[in-house]
Amino acid sequence: MDLEYTTQEKSFRDDIRAFIRQNLPKDVAAKVLEHKRLSREDIIGWHRILHTRGWSGPTWPKEFGGPGWTAVEQHIFDEECTAAGTPPVIAFGVRMVAPVLMKYGSPAQQQFYLPRILSGEHWWCQGYSEPGSGSDLASLKTAAVRRGDSYIVNGQKTWNTLGHLADWMFCLVRTSSEGRSQEGISFLLIDMKSKGISVRPIALIDGEHEVNEVWLDNVEVPVTQRVGEENKGWTYAKYLLTHERVNIARLGESKRELRSLKAIAARVPSNGRPLIEDVRFRDAIAAVEIEIRALEFTVLGVLSAEAAGRDPGAISSALKISGSEIQQTLSELKMRALGPRAIPHVPEALDAGWQGEPNGAEWWAALSGRYFNMRKTSIYSGSNEIQRNIISHRLLGL
């Protein structure tokens, strides 16, 4: 694969950089680069800024309001945004449910939901996992019973990311108990303001409120908010997960974190010299850099396949495994570099403007929170063990 950029692609990169430089609020960028807490308005605000330029759906084709970028242009956009410290694109809407709606949604659903995803009017969350139905998602029990023109939904979803901020949830529900478990699942779009929905926080190991339990008690959902056919939701769910796993690779973010790791190693002393000069630590940096380079080739290949209308299939599982393990390795190496200073976890350090005591703002204080948060990456969106099973079955025929 040729990674030399054409003159046109270099000009495209310059345009992206100029736009970000002129429009990204400096206080928001500082939060991202320092791993501070982002507010809903920080994320939505940047999304709306992108929307003014037609860039809030960077992977979308022109026919649905996107820029229609090539795979390389999408890659450049991601690199420049993450390098500058922009908030992430709201993935549950833009990169997950939107592709499902484009492929399987009715014209009415496309016309209603897609423009609102692009504008940032609708924030989406995911209703997949349940207690006892995580990696074995097909065993889910949340039930939807048809009554006239509506479904009555009862059940519980868990590990629901940012559902307390969301306007809508795409949700897998059981509409039939006959046949194989995968055959009785439907894909519903549920308004989070519906009567009967309760959202309860789950505190993660870093103490942050990022995920939730969502309880559905006789929630009425119009049949018009079902995507595709009844009992065919497993097909749509797998299609969505393919896009989610590509997104989880977070190539641009890992390249930014690699640069940050090198900067820390150059700053931290070890035996009277910068840690970056320690041969063993430098070898560890080189090893993860090689993995990032390999991931870059694979991501570009998958993006090219998607742009050509091809399903990346099980390769998305390889991206998920590699991308999540790289993210964890980078956070681990930062903790190793900091040594004893990495031990305390100070939740207050995640607040913008926090001043450490007694020596002023400590630049490393938020890194332990990042380390704890990255523990989840090898588990969500299907654990890495499950992804290896998918690869062995679908690619190796085992």
Residue pLDDT, tens place only, 75-103: 899 999 999 999 988 889 999 999 999 99
How would residue 360 be classed by pLDDT, with cut points 50, 70 and 90? very low
Q: What is the CA radius of gyration of the chain?
A: 22
3-state helix/strand/coil string of the chain = CCCCCCHHHHHHHHHHHHHHHHHCCHHHHHHHHCCCCCCHHHHHHHHHHHHHHCCCCCCCCHHHCCCCCCHHHHHHHHHHHHHHCCCCCCHHHHHHHHHHHHHHCCHHHHHHHHHHHHHCCCCEEEECCECCECCCHHHCCCEEEEECCEEEEEEEEEEEECHHHCCEEEEEEECCCCCCHHHHEEEEEEECCCCCEEEEEEECCCCCEEEEEEEEEEEEEEHHHEECCCCEHHHHHHHHHHHHHHHHCCHHHHHHHHHHHHHHHHHCEECCEEHHHCHHHHHHHHHHHHHHHHHHHHHHHHHHHHHCCCCCCCHHHHHHHHHHHHHHHHHHHHHHHHHHHHCCCCHHHHCCCCCCCCCCCCCCCCHHHHHHHHCCCCCCCCCHHHHHHHHHHHCCCC
Could you tell me the two tokens for 271?
Answer: 């035996």
162 phi and psi, to 5 degrees?
55, 25
Q: Can you tell me the mean pLDDT for 319-339?
A: 91
Please give the average per-residue pLDDT across 379-383, as a whole number: 79
Which residues neighbour 131 within 8 Å (Cβ) at sequence distance 6 or greater?
156, 158
What is the C-alpha separation between 214 and 192, in angstroms, rounded?
A: 10
Domain map (residue ranges) of the chain: 7-89, 124-232, 249-394
Q: Write down the mean pLDDT value for the chain.
A: 89
**58's tokens:** 């960077």
Q: How far apart are CA 349 and CA 334, in angstroms?
A: 16
Across 105-129, average pLDDT? 97
Answer with the residue of higher pLDDT: 342 or 246: 342
Per the model's pLDDT, the better-predicted residue between 112 and 311 turns out to be 112
CA dihedral 283, 287, 289, 290 (to 10 degrees): 130
How far is it, in rounded angstroms, from Cα 366 to Cα 14? 32
Q: What is the pLDDT of residues 19-43, one digit of tens each?
A: 999 999 999 999 999 888 899 999 9
Beta bridge partners of 197: 216
Buried b vs exposed e over 237-250: b needs ≥16 C-beta within 10 Å? bebbbbbbbbbbbb
Q: Is the pLDDT at 244 greater than 70, yes or no?
A: no
pLDDT band at 386 (very low <50, low <70, confident <90, very high): confident
Name the CATH architecture for the domain at 249-394: Up-down Bundle (1.20)
Lowest mean pLDDT among 17-26, 165-174, 218-227, 268-277: 268-277
Q: Between these two residues, 320 and 56, which has the higher pLDDT value?
A: 56
Quote the CA–CA distance of 247 and 97 in Å, as a whole number: 13
pLDDT value at 355 more than 70: no
Mean pLDDT of 35-54: 94
Q: Supply 227's token pair.
A: 């995507």
User: In the predicted model, what is the mean pLDDT of residues 99-111?
Assistant: 97
What local confidence, expressed as pLDDT, does residue 3 receive? Answer: 61
Confidence (pLDDT) at 362: 61
* Helix 71-84 with 251-267: angle, nearest 10 deg: 40
Residue 110 has pLDDT above 50, yes or no: yes
Give backbone dihedrals phi and psi of 180, rounded to 5 degrees, phi first.
-65, 150
- pLDDT band of 260, cuts 50, 70, 90: very high
Tell me, what amino acid is at 84?
A
- CB contact burial 41-52 (16+ within 10 A = b; e otherwise): ebbbebbebbbe
Nearest to 172 by CA among 180, 162, 160: 160
Q: Inform me whether the pLDDT recorded for 398 exceeds 70.
A: no
Decide if pLDDT at 298 tops 80: yes
**Paired sense of beta strands 197-203 and 209-222, if any:** antiparallel
Instruction: Assess contact for 168 and 124: CB atoms under 8 A.
Output: yes
Please answer whether residues 36 and 352 qualify as being in contact, where contact means their C-beta atoms are separated by less than 8 angstroms.
yes
Where residue 35 falls (left for φ over 0; alpha for ψ -120 to 50; beta otherwise) is: left
Q: pLDDT value at position 279?
A: 93
- What number does CATH give the domain 124-232? 2.40.110.10
Q: Does residue 194 contact residue 221 with C-beta atoms inside 8 Å?
A: yes
* 389 pLDDT tier (thresholds 50, 70, 90): confident
From CA 213, how far away is CA 201, in angstroms rounded?
A: 6
